[in-house]
Amino acid sequence: MAPTLAPAPASPPPDADADVDVDVDVDAEVAIVDFAFEPTRLEVAAGTTVTWTNRGAAPHTATADDGTFDTGQLDAGSTASVAFDTAGTYAYACLFHPEMTGVVVVV
């Protein structure tokens, strides 16, 4: 009869007080291309900074429907950034081209 082997001991549980380094990307980008925001819907974590980049020739803005943010006029090649610290849904449009709309969802 073969000897019975005991199972290997389980790894000890992780220390709840141990420091853990986690890299979190807190930046996101919305491109303005051909009179459209890309992506039109962006979901980010609270604390994320969103940068709008105008990759077209015409000037644009990204202006919140509720007035919480406004990038101002973005000429060709220009960028503007907004920090989103509070959870919520932020709808926005271009003041020059109101058919251009987008939304940032902060979770």
Cα angle, residue 87 at apex, residues 91 and 64 outer, rounded to 5°: 25
Break the chain into its structural domains and give their ranges: 27-106
Lowest mean pLDDT: which of 5-9, 50-54, 71-75? Answer: 5-9
What is the percent of the chain with per-residue pLDDT over 90, rounded to a whole number? 75
Q: What is the pLDDT at residue 15?
A: 53
**Residue whose tokens read 């709840």:** 16
Q: Give Cβ neighbours of residue 97 (< 8 Å, ≥ 6 apart).
A: 35, 58, 60
**C-alpha 87, offset from chain centre:** 12
* CATH classification for the domain delimited by 27-106, as one of 2.60.40.420, 3.40.50.720, 2.60.120.370, 1.20.1260.10: 2.60.40.420
With beta carbons less than 8 A apart as the criterion, state whether 47 and 28 touch.
no
53-105 residue pLDDT tens: 999 999 999 999 999 999 999 999 999 999 999 999 999 999 999 999 999 99
